[in-house]
Amino acid sequence: MLVVNGLVKRFGGFTAVNNVSFEVEQGEILGLIGPNGSGKSTIFNMLSGTFPPSAGTITFDGSEIAGLPPHKIINRGIGRTFQIPRPFRRLTIFENVALAGYYGQGSHSLAKANDAAEKALTMVGLPTDRQASVDGLGAAGLKKLELAKAIATGPKLLLADESLGGLDETEMDQAADMLRKIRDELGITIIWVEHIMGVLMRVVDRVMVLDHGEKISEGLPSAVSSDPRVVEVYLGTDAHATQAAAAEARR
């Protein structure tokens, strides 16, 4: 479904993503992990058209999409969440999601947008009443709103950026289960970016690891979490989480 070849992003003289290639199969959940600043969000920004790659190709459903603007990429079926949720505070929860549906689906039909919002909110477990305010949402609620907005655009491929940041352990488990449910029930393929490895390893089919903008490992969770290169990168910063992930993946 997605074929990425030789992707590069330079910011001035700094290379944030260096010659990264990977593929995503229809129906899979691919985990994308790596330490802070390793280039995860930058890859999402190129896939979603926030900015063009410095080099490389991105083929989605057989056509080249590298460098297309965000609205064209959304219309082709790639939806994303943002690491830092910034909903429109003056709109209700429902309006935020319906707005995403209205522009994202490209049909510009209010009825379809409302219908998409209703379904997306139900999927993530947020209220579907038209009055509920964004101000009542905590960290977990805002993450759900991000997911609902992305789902309402009707994606075939969902790019979920750090859905677990700021959540406690129970909320993390719920969020992980929700991503799996989105894949299982809506048939949406997912790339999930996280740096909390443990929960991610339980849900993803495959995982790819970045360090300093380069791909250092890729494969099944059990193999990747015991890959010496991965353990080394996570040692010190996240050794405990890495071991927990390895144990989790072996179960």
Ligand X SMILES: Nc1ncnc2c1ncn2[C@@H]1O[C@H](COP(=O)(O)OP(=O)(O)OP(=O)(O)O)[C@@H](O)[C@H]1O
Whose tokens are 């894949």? That residue is: 183
Helix and strand totals (H; E) in the chain: 10, 10
Q: From the list Mg ion, ligand X, none, which binds 42 (C-beta under 5 to 8 Å, kind-based)? A: ligand X
Nearer CB in complex with ligand X: 16/24:
16
CA 237 to CA 223: how far, in whole Å?
Answer: 20
CA 204 to CA 212: how far, in whole Å?
Answer: 22
In the region spanning residues 72 to 91, those forming contacts with ligand X, defined by CB under 6 A, are: 83
* Distance (Å) of CA 63 to CA 4, 37, 234: 12, 29, 36
In the region spanning residues 183 to 222, those forming contacts with ligand X, defined by CB under 6 A, are: 195
Q: Which amino acid is at 55?
A: A
Q: Longest Cα pair distance anywhere in the chain, in angstroms? A: 53
Which member of 4, 18, 40, 190 binds ligand X (CB under 6 A)?
40
CA 98 to CA 102: how far, in whole Å?
Answer: 6
Minimum CB–partner distance for residue 179 and Mg ion (Å)? 17
CA 180 to CA 46: how far, in whole Å?
Answer: 24
Minimum CB–partner distance for residue 150 and Mg ion (Å)? 16
Nearer CB in complex with ligand X: 32/113:
32
Stretch that binds ligand X, among 33-41, 55-63, 139-147, 200-208 (CB under 6 A): 33-41
Which member of 41, 48, 81, 105 binds Mg ion (CB under 5 A)?
41
Task: Note the Cα 102 to chain centre separation in Å.
Answer: 21
Minimum CB–partner distance for residue 132 and ligand X (Å)? 29
CA 243 to CA 223: how far, in whole Å?
Answer: 12
In the region spanning residues 194 to 223, those forming contacts with Mg ion, defined by CB under 5 A, are: none
- Per-residue contact track with Mg ion, 113 to 152, x per CB under 5 A? ----------------------------------------
Contact between 36 and ligand X (CB under 6 A)?
Answer: yes
Minimum CB–partner distance for residue 161 and Mg ion (Å)? 6
Q: Which strands sit side by side in the sheet containing 14-24, from one edge to the other? A: 14-24, 2-11, 55-60, 63-64
Nearer CB in complex with ligand X: 75/83:
83
Minimum CB–partner distance for residue 213 and Mg ion (Å)? 12
Q: From the list ligand X, Mg ion, none, which binds 242 (C-beta under 5 to 8 Å, kind-based)? A: none
60 Cβ partners below 8 Å, 6+ apart?
1, 2, 76, 77, 78, 157
Minimum CB–partner distance for residue 162 and Mg ion (Å)? 6
Q: Which residues bind ligand X (CB under 6 A)?
A: 11, 16, 34, 36-42, 83, 195
Q: Which residues bind Mg ion (CB under 5 A)?
A: 40-41, 83
